[in-house]
Chains A and B, each alone.
Chain A
Amino acid sequence: MKRKLLAICMATALSLISLTGCGGSNENVPDTTRQETETSDTKETVKEEVPSAGKIHLTVPKVGYNQEQINTANAKEGGPTYEDKYYMTVTENMAKNLPDYEMEYVDWGWGETLDQKQRALFASGSAPDIVAGETFIPSYAAEGLLEPLPQEIVDLVNPSFLVYDDDDNPVAVAYKTSIFMIFYNKALLEQCGYSEDDIPETWDEWKAMSDDITAQGKGEFWGGGIPTFPNAGGALRATPFFRTNGTDFAVDGKINLDDEKLQEVLSFIREMNYNFPAGLGNGSDEFPMWDAFHEGTLAFVVQGSFEGSDAENAGMDWGVAPIPMNDAGIDGNCTVGSVYLAVPKAAANKEASFNVIKETLSLENEKVWLEGSYCPAIKEIIEDSSYYENDKVLMMEMQVIKDGTYSGLATFPKNDSSIWEIINQNVLARTTMTEDPVDVICSEAMAQIVPLQ
């Protein structure tokens, strides 16, 4: 009898251990009311999430901050950043303007981590109320997973902040974005005999200036070029240069590496890479390059408009200019740092979820992004330059947004991430790390990509 009892106890203990082992980490702890309840079967005291009576419970990533995130932001040296301020403002406004909603602000990370989490939820049949993301949101749209946005939201924003599904329905909206520019270190340029009047507008001018600075630096400082980090958005930073040369990695969803114009840009990227210390512009980690710029050993960097705020915080004397173009170049750019929100078709509370998205786009919330030189989505700000007339970065950025001469990174209908991985590793990184002929690099990569399309 005792042994039987022991066996039952062990089985119960093991079941409990295995079940609690499946529990999530505390990063998903919501702001909702926690209540301790006692289950009648086991008499075990467990914690359960119980929505407050009469409220609609919504689980949302990248919309607001839970208490833990607020505490972390407030504890930062120098106080909350503009990004923290946006999420904290949204959180406050949600509580004030949508009191019937019980918001569970989850931190599911960003990029791959967020994509993994959301796909796992889709696969398990428990889609979140709102999905967030950047480069992978077009894949969700193409799969037909997202509910079309209400016209009310579509009318609020600049059209280029929307993502469309295959039936041309707008299904996702970004509450902020940014485009690429070149930032320069004024002090370093002056040291090398250049003034702001000399800031390059063409590839040839940029290369000549950067080559000269590198030569003057004698291994102590460098001119800088186009970063091609294979594991940190190399293709993203290179894309504006392809676009200003009238080409892109994909045309109608098909790989375009055999295009001569594209190969011309790759050759330019290779030549400019000599203006980085070896391994700085194409390493597996991008931070040493930003450090070099902030520390004054790199004259130029290509970055989104938010670099203005970062350079300011680093206390450097900096300037900004549009991406230089080839002689017969055209206007073109690529967005970076967009945060798209969308409501899955499988979401339980679609109307409420759209109301939450609409709230993120309110004037009061969106104004916060101006502090970080990010471009907010709503027309009310974009079309009224009084909001940003004193910010040189935003003035430049808003003009591009108004002209509509930019778009997000190209997407491939099938195996999108795998194809981008080949482009980043076997095209961009190989171009800058070796002297292999560019046409050979492109044809070998094409051979790998074509079967994936």
Chain B
Amino acid sequence: MGEIKRTGKKEKKQRSRQERRTRRAYKIIAPFFAYIALWGILPLFYGLYLGLTEYNGLSEKPVFIGLKNYMDFFTNAAYMQLLWRQIWMGAICLFMNTILSFLLGLALNVPAKTRGIFRSGIYVPCIAATSITSAIFVVLLEPNGVMNTVLKRIGLTPVTWQYSQFWMVFWIMIYFVWKNIGPAAIIWLGGLQSIDASLYEAARMDGADMFQRIRYITIPGLRFVASYIILTGIIGAMQMFDVVMFISKGNPYGKTDILMYRLYRDGIVNFNMGMAGAESTVIGMITIVFSIIYFRIVLKKED
């Protein structure tokens, strides 16, 4: 009886110690929760609320108008066009970035003395400020800029890049890939180096060629790295706007305008806060849906 009592007391003591530890842990992380709530969750809910209002930043209070902003969004062909352009331009950028960064990761994995220099070199564009590097891009593309000077020197006809949707999308994509390829390549490289080298050795002994080794060892071994790169890539592509703002400003005549850039202008430039709230909700939901679809596909493959 006395033994049971002692054990009970001991358990109680352990439990209360455990509870104290838990409480202490919560106290430590509470400020971080408060921080996230203050700067992440509250603005999120305020954005959702603004989407249901009409507010220009001048009138005293936002006026509740229900789902009118959403109705306007889905019935206005211009908004749907911007959404579609955001998706296809984002998809091209994501596709190119993923493929090229993978190839670059493979190249960087080849043992060479200069590997360190290249590894640092491809990361530099990511560190440089978008506003500055994009300004250089814009200067290159001016009617009498470097690109046209080069074309003239080699006997080709200069191109008015700013008049062409094709060329502006092309340059936006080039800039996006140039800017983002470094971090993705380094992550691919990290994944490549975590694959057990003995697997390649065994495959080689079994007579597998380079493509077979990539197909059957490298790609399956990089599944989780790929998931990370593609998932963050989807989010990045759906958030893409600074590249467009700095390089084309939506030109020529709105042909490279995308929903995120419009969202910025509706909210911060034109002070149509209600519509900006609705647009951000729509684009947020679409990003979540794309991410879930991608997750489902990955998980299904794993099953």
Contacts and interface: CB of A to CB of B under 8 A. Distances in A.
Interface of A: 3-4, 6-7, 10-11, 14-15, 18, 112, 115-116, 119-120, 122-123, 139-140, 143, 145, 230-231, 277-280, 282-285, 288, 415, 417-418, 421, 425-426, 429-430, 433-434, 448, 451
B190 interface: no
B28 A10 contact: yes
Given A278-B160, A279-B142, A426-B253, A415 B270 contact: yes
Contacts of A421: 265, 269-270
A282 B162 CA distance: 9
Contact of B28 (A7, A116, A429, A434): A7
B78 interface: yes
B298 to A, nearest CB: 36
Contacts of A230: 249, 251, 253
B249 A418 contact: no
A120 B57 contact: yes
Nearest to A116: B268
Contacts of A284: 138, 162, 248-249, 251
Nearest to B163: A433
A119 B253 contact: no
Contacts of B30: 11
B58 interface: yes
Nearest to B164: A433
Contact of B138 (A140, A285, A429, A433): A285
B271 interface: yes
A282 B160 CA distance: 11
Contacts of B266: 418
B31 A14 contact: yes
Contacts of B51: none
Contact of B142 (A4, A140, A288, A433): A288
Nearest to A279: B143
Given A285-B138, A288-B144, A143 B59 contact: yes
A429 B253 contact: yes
A189 B178 CA distance: 45
Interface in B111-138: 138
A256 B135 CA distance: 36
Nearest to A448: B78
A15 B58 contact: no
B252 interface: yes
Top 4 A-B pairs, shortest CB-CB distance: A279-B143, A119-B57, A417-B270, A430-B253
A214 to B, nearest CB: 15
A420 to B, nearest CB: 9
Interface in B11-45: 24, 27-28, 30-32, 35, 38-39
A157 B142 CA distance: 43
A3 B265 CA distance: 48
A273 B144 CA distance: 17
B253 A283 contact: no
Contact of B252 (A280, A417, A429): A429
Given A278-B163, A426-B254, A433-B252, A14 B32 contact: yes
19 contacts: A3-B24, A7-B28, A14-B32, A18-B39, A115-B271, A122-B58, A123-B57, A140-B58, A143-B56, A143-B58, A277-B143, A278-B143, A278-B160, A279-B143, A284-B249, A415-B270, A425-B257, A430-B252, A448-B78
Nearest to B32: A14
B142 A231 contact: no
Interface of B: 24, 27-28, 30-32, 35, 38-39, 56-59, 72, 76, 78, 138, 142-144, 160-163, 248-254, 257, 265-266, 268-272
Nearest to B265: A421
A224 to B, nearest CB: 14
Given A279-B142, A283-B162, A433-B252, A417 B269 contact: yes
A415 B272 contact: yes
Contact of B31 (A15, A139, A285): A15
B200 to A, nearest CB: 46
B58 A433 contact: no
A166 to B, nearest CB: 14
B251 A425 contact: yes
A4 B21 CA distance: 11
Nearest to B160: A278
A425 B253 contact: yes
> Which of A284, A429, A448 has the most chain B CB atoms closer than 10 A to its own CB?
A284
A117 to B, nearest CB: 11
B18 to A, nearest CB: 15
B280 to A, nearest CB: 17
Contacts of B251: 230-231, 284, 425, 429
Contacts of A122: 57-58
Nearest to A121: B57
Given A18-B38, A284-B138, A417-B270, A279 B163 contact: yes
Nearest to A424: B253
Contact of A10 (B31, B57, B268, B270): B31
B273 to A, nearest CB: 9
A231 B58 contact: no
B208 to A, nearest CB: 52
B271 A417 contact: yes
Contacts of A288: 142-144
Contact of B253 (A4, A15, A434): A434
B296 to A, nearest CB: 37
Contacts of A279: 142-143, 160-163
A426 B270 CA distance: 16
A278 B161 CA distance: 10
Contacts of A123: 57-58
Contacts of B265: 418, 421
A423 to B, nearest CB: 11
A112 B265 CA distance: 10
B101 to A, nearest CB: 29
Contacts of B144: 277, 288
A14 B33 CA distance: 11
Contacts of B138: 284-285
Given A278-B163, A433-B163, A7 B27 contact: yes
A280 B31 contact: no
A279 B159 CA distance: 10
A158 B256 CA distance: 44
A418 B162 CA distance: 22
